[in-house]
Structures are given as structure tokens and as C-alpha cells.
Amino acid sequence: MKTLFAFFTRPFILVANFTRHLILLLLFLAILYFFFGGKTLTISEQTALVLAPKGFVVDQFSGDPTSQAIDNIRGTDIPETRVRDILRAIQIATNDEKISALVLNPDYMWGAGLANLREIEYAIDDFRNQSGKPVIAMATNLSQAQYYFASLADEVLMDPQGFLFLQGFGSYRNYFKDGLEKLGVDVHLFKVGEYKSAAEPYVRNDMSQEAKEAGLHFMNDLWETYLTGIAQRRGLSTEELQEIVDQQAQRLMQNKGSVADMAVDAGLVDRVMKQSFMHKRIAEVSSFDDANNHFRGVAFEDYLAMNLPEVLPNSNRIAVVVAEGVIMGGEQSPGTIGGASTSALLEQARLDNSVKAVVLRVNSPGGGVYPSEQIRRQVDALKVAGKPVVVSMGNVAASGGYWVSMTADSIWADEATITGSIGIYGLLMTYPELFNKLGISTDGVGTTKWVGAFNPTKGLDPEFADLIQSNIEYGYQQFIGSVAAARNLDVEMVDRVARGRVWTAKQAYDLGLIDQLGGMQQAIADAAERGGLGADYEVTWVEESLSLTEQLFVDMMATASEHIDLSGNQNSQNLQKLLQPFAAELSLILDARPGEVLQMAHCMCELNYLP
């Protein structure tokens, strides 16, 4: 009897213990928050605003808000910095009399797309022109993206032990055809267009000539944009800068192996100095801090916390919806585009009576065909509701990324945006040979010849292969037909520039695939004009956010983290950092059901994060 009683009461005891421990934890966090939280930051006169982006520069944080905030506090997240936060900090600092200078520090930036870097470039140029305040960069090691960021300054300071290397743009991938055949895996590719090369690694051992031709065409144009931006600020011609890049080895030997001296000699950097002297130099345009050994500066994250935007009632709003990442079906967390979740955000903007226009910020290489179409239909629904939709393309808006954009009232893209890749493909993997090697056979009966057509353990029936190819061709015709109708072009003309070929936005503009060259701010201004708003409007970001209770819990954890160690496994973070750029693409393959034909509008063309 006693054992039976214990059996029935044990679950209740466990629940009670868990509840008690949870209450004690929340009480502990609340006490810490009461005594140590709520402190306000202040800045003094002659303070420099420090822009030191951490991790990847993105349009939208990855993951749901609660998990992202907690991981950030514990230090186990993949660091990310939103472009809009950098832009807003620069904008506020322009007219802030306490901010005397802007300091750029790229040391902690892991990667950034060229289009996003150019958004920051426009903001810094406005800051400089409107305020007359100096902009100084301090750096140790400079990758290609980090150097572009540093070059936005009036003066670039580099550590004597620093490193700088410019390598250009390229695309090198692994090819698995022979390896898959040795494993007994057969990959069946169905596509339209000789330039649709995303799935080539599964059916070839090398890059096709068409992929090489198209890749070099858009990469050379992108490289020209990169060189031009730096050359103009460094007082060089693009030819001189290209020569410097080509001669890095010889120039380094001439400077006895010192990269910093080579950079100064080439005109890429202004001065070489150790960190302590960098602080003294920057203190000349700001001041020394209270300890008198560093310049007085405020991190842009803290600066934004001191300048929270006022939320005022406004019946004229422009809603910004961010679509960033690979496009997948269903509900997806931010950082990945979900056919259902992103559609829901657009629907939310449509049903909000205060929203008069929508800007869809697209930064995606594409993904699934159907979820792309789901999102595009919501764009059309907004237009039917009388709300203009303007697309602002980020680093890449190709294939499915172009699909969701094509019927907008207006499409804006930066010169450095990668777009196009209009086309779709299907992928089916079977492995009867693998089963043969293992001594496993497949047999059975069915009521029609189609039974088991998707069975990956059987060989692909040629007639079934024709059926799939026919469906892919139908999808392609639907794609180019929709582009032609939306862009007021002939279908034949669209077919010539489509066929899976990738373009830069400059090239796409000449081909009629986009409307205007420009950044996010120009797209917002266009939306305001189309919505008849004049200058009286507010920009609101439609996205998943923390509830009041979740925000309070996160704030308490942040306060607690200052006094207790909440950090996680550093090795786990390093592994996430390594896999992060490829995670979504891997999910596209790994999440497929056995025997499923993956219908994709996807482009392996993004240079989202420059090397």
C-alpha cells in the first residue's frame, strides 16, 4: 500500500519541488534586479561614439527573441549586430553636442555583406557632412569586410602587429558526384536553365562552364563596386588599387614583412601605432576618460539604450517587414524565412489600420518554391487592400528572394546587391545501389505502376522522371510569366535574362528587373510618397518581440549576469560560428522527407558575409 501511495504521489512532489525552485530563482533574480538594476547611463561632453559591430552584421537577429536574449546574456549566442541599430546611433549622434567624434572599430566584426556596409557608408557620409565631426578608425587585423568598414573613416590607424589582406571575390565549392556514387547514392536533378547551378555539386565533379561564366560576370561587377568605394575615399584610382592588390606579396617583401608598413606605403592606412597611442590620438578629438589612459567613448549599444525612441500614437505608419535567410516552409524563427511566419507578419501589417504602406526588406538566396509563393501572395493582398509595397533588397535577393519581391509596387536595390537567378530546380535522391551493397532488396506489389515511385530504395522510373521534369518546366514558366507581367516585359525577354543566371543590381537595373538603385532609406521615402504620407509618418518594424513579462525576466537575468557566471560552453559557440553560414542550406536537404522531390527556387550565389 505504501509503495502504491508513493507511486501516485511522486509526480505531485516533483512538480511541487520544481515550482518551489523556480519561485526561489525568480525571487533571487528579482532581488538582484532591485538592488543593482535600473541604473541609468550618462555621457559627458567631448565623448566619442564607438561603432564596434560584434559578429555578423545582419538585418534581423536570428532565433526567437527570448532565446536570443538569454543566449546573449550567457555569452553562448552567435554575435550579431543589426544594421538599423548602427544607422540609428549614427543619426542621433549627428546632432548630439556631447558626441564630438565617431570611432570605427572592426576588430570584432566577423562578416558583413557589401550592400549592408554601403548602407552604413551612406549614414557616415551624412554624419560627416551635416556635423563636421571627425571619423577615425582603429584596427588590428583587417579582413576584406573589416577594411571596407575601416576605410569609411577620415583616418585609419593600424596596430604595428596588424594584418591586412585583400583577396577579391570568388566561389569555390565541393563536388560530390563520385563520392555519392561510391556510396551508392543516385542524385536526380531536374531543372530549367543552363545557369541554374545551385545543385551542380551533387551531379558533377566540377563547375560547369556556364556557372563559371555567369559567376565571373557578376563577381567582377561586384569587385568593381568594392574597389571604387575604397579608391574614392583613399585618393586612389581603381586601377591603382587593383595593382596594389595584385602586388601584395612583392610590396610586403619590400617592407621587410611588415603588413602595417606595407599598408601605409600603399596608402591603405594612414598611421601605424600601438593601442595606447591610438587612444591618445582619438582623445585629441574627444577627451580622456576619468582614468586618463583611454579616450572617452561610449559604445553605440549603450548610446542607443540612453536614447530609446518615443512611441507616440500615429495613424500614419510605414511597416517594415524583414525577410532574411533561406526560405523554408511553415513557421520559422527570425533569421530564417518561414512561408507561414513571414506571411503572418505581412498579414499583420495589412490588418493594421494605422499602416499606410509597407517596406519588405529582402535578404535571401531563396529556398522552397511554395513558401516563396505564399509570401508573394501576401504582397499582392497588401496591394489589393490599397497599401503600397516597396521592396528593399539587401546583400542578396535572388531566386526565391526575387520571387517574393517581383510583384511589389517598386523594387530598390543597392549596387552591391546580388539578385536574379530566376529559375527553379528539383532534386530527388535514391539509393538502390547502396542497398544492393548491403545485401538488402526491395520487392512488393501495387495497384498501379506509380506505387512506390518515390521510394528511394528503388531506381527512378524514366516515365516518372519525365513527369517531374514536366512539372519543373511548368513552375519555371509560371515564374518567368509572373516576372514578365509584374515588370511589364515580354516573356521571351525575361527567359533570356532568367534561366537561373545571377546579376548584380546594377546589371539587373539595366535589364529592367528592378526599379531603382538605392538603400533602405530611399525605399522608405518611396513608400511614404506612394502612401501619400508626406513627412508625417512613423516607421515601425513588424516582428516578433518580447512580452512585458519576458522582457522583465531578461532584464533580471542581465543584471544577475553581472554578479554570477551564466556563461555556457565556449566550444559549442565556436562550432555554431563555424556552421552558422551553412545551417539553413543544410536544413533544406536534411529536412526533406525520404523520396521527396525538393522543388527549389534557391541560389548558392550569396556573398552575404565578405571574407
Which segments within 518-592 are labelled E, that is strand?
Answer: 538-541
Classify burial at 563, counting beta carbons within 10 Å of its beta carbon; exposed 0-12, middle 13-18, buried 19 or more.
Answer: exposed
CB 410 within 8 A of CB 380: no
Torsion of CA 99, 104, 107, 108, to 10 degrees: 60
Q: Where are the beta strands (DSSP E) in 115-217?
A: 135-142, 155-164, 186-191
Active-site residue identified among 399, 410, 421, 482? 399
Catalytic residue among 196, 356, 387, 506: 196
How far does Cα 217 stand from its chain's mean position? 23
The answer to whether 81 touches 117, Cβ cutoff 8 Å, is no
Rounded CA separation 404/408 (Å): 8
Among residues 68, 144, 133, which one has the least CA distance to residue 111?
144
Closest-CA residue to 269 (of 236, 242, 243): 236
Q: Which of 365, 418, 433, 422 is nearest to 582 (CA)?
A: 365
Scanning 235-336, the segments in alpha helix (DSSP H) are 238-246, 248-254, 259-266, 275-283, 300-305
SS3 annotation, 345-389 = HHHHHHHCCCEEEEEEEEEECEEEHHHHHHHHHHHHHHHHCCCCE
Residue 347 C-alpha cell reads as 498579414
Q: Is 196 a catalytic residue?
A: yes
Residue 182 known to be catalytic: no
Q: Give how far the C-alpha of residue 308 lies from the chain's centroid of Cα atoms, to the nearest Å.
A: 24
Residue 568 sits at φ, ψ, to 5 deg, of -110, -155
User: Would you please indicate which residues are annotated as catalytic (active-site) residues?
Assistant: 196, 399
